[in-house]
Chains A and B, each alone.
Chain A
Amino acid sequence: MPFRRSAPKLLASPAVRVGLSISIATGLYGISFGALSVTSGLDFWQTMALSLLLFSGGSQFAFIGVVAGGGSGVAAMSAATLLGMRNGIYGMQLNALLHPTGWRRFVAAQLTIDESTATSSGQTDPAEQQRGFWTAGIGIYVLWNLFTAVGALAGSGLGDPKQWGLDGAAVAAFLALLWPRLKGREPAAIAVVCALATVVAVPFVPAGVPILIAAVVAALIGWFSHGRSDEGLEPDVDPYEEHHHGHGHGNPHGNGDARRAGL
């Protein structure tokens, strides 16, 4: 296990320090998830179930986003599940990187999200990759759930969510999740095409379904075009961003080039 070290030594590890700071940054926005979830019509425990069990920011926001728009439970589940596919890709990368065995494999799977993957794969030393994954994974899990609860409790006392602009907060949250993935012209074009497909579909199909239509359009683009294979697979909050300010685009992770070369 990565933690057989004394505390001061652990804090000297760059991966642990990056993991802790990404935990705080990501955990904090659990507040916005909690608040938006209860104002979308989910109750406190449904909100907590999403953070404890589903534990993948984008999918959780997708679930409540569909419910808030009047979509059905099936549509909410489908959107969340399609958005969770990338975690399967991360799982394959992490399995090759960390080789977890026994029960740790099952725990590692639950902690497999954008940020823990990025923290781990941004390191080159195998021991650091371990520490980065577990620090970010456990840290985010604890703080994300804590702040989801805080947000859910605060949100349920707000009264009319529209008065506080919480529907505007949802819009901003989705754009903020999308933004870091729009590196280059092609992902931006995919986003525009899918947004247009959505708008065209809204008047004709039940609420929630336009999102699934956009997912099919995006999947077809991915299947038949030949761009970077890691497009769209960036974390919402980049753990290594501060070290790469000013370098502009591209995946700044240590193994970004390897991933781009087709894994």
Chain B
Amino acid sequence: MNLWIWLLLACALAYAWKLAGYFVPAKLLKDPRMSRVAGTMTIGLLASLTIVNTVASGQALAADARLGALAAAAVALAFRAPFLLVVLLGAGTAALLRLLGWN
């Protein structure tokens, strides 16, 4: 139940960002710093989420099959594979490595 509250709040805030764009005076558009922060934060957050999901197990760091998934995804992306294929290759690689005994 507790998660529902944060989830709905996240939904409300996401809509608030979107709506703010339509109601904020166009003058702010001329400030490139705003969009720069939005852009660098997008890169930073996605990079952080990638690495957390690869090497973190709670508060510990671990090297396991997920590293293989990261490598496989990088290769697929370098070959311009579509999103869904990249995800499937990531899953397949992690599953295969586990089958071979690397956790």
Contacts and interface: CB of A to CB of B under 8 A. Distances in A.
B21 A112 contact: yes
A67 B40 contact: no
A91 B51 contact: no
- The A contact surface, by secondary structure, is helix
B11 to A, nearest CB: 4
A142 B9 CA distance: 23
Contacts, number: 357
Given A86-B39, A222-B36, A165 B60 contact: no
Contacts of A217: 44
Contact of B29 (A96, A173, A227): A96
Residue from A25, A46, A214 whose CB has the most chain B CB atoms within 10 Å = A214
A219 B38 CA distance: 7
Interface string B49-84: 111111110111100011011101110110000111
Nearest to A112: B18
Interface of B: 2-11, 13-15, 17-22, 24, 26, 28-30, 32-56, 58-61, 65-66, 68-70, 72-74, 76-77, 82-84, 86-96, 98
Interface of A: 25, 28-29, 31-32, 42, 46, 49-50, 53-56, 58-59, 61-63, 65-70, 72-74, 76-77, 79-96, 100, 105-106, 108-110, 112, 162-179, 181-182, 187, 190-195, 197-199, 202-207, 210-211, 213-215, 217-219, 221-223, 225, 227-233, 236-237, 262-263
Given A79-B45, A263-B35, 11 more contacts: A46-B3, A50-B11, A63-B7, A76-B7, A79-B49, A106-B19, A164-B91, A169-B88, A172-B76, A173-B90, A195-B48
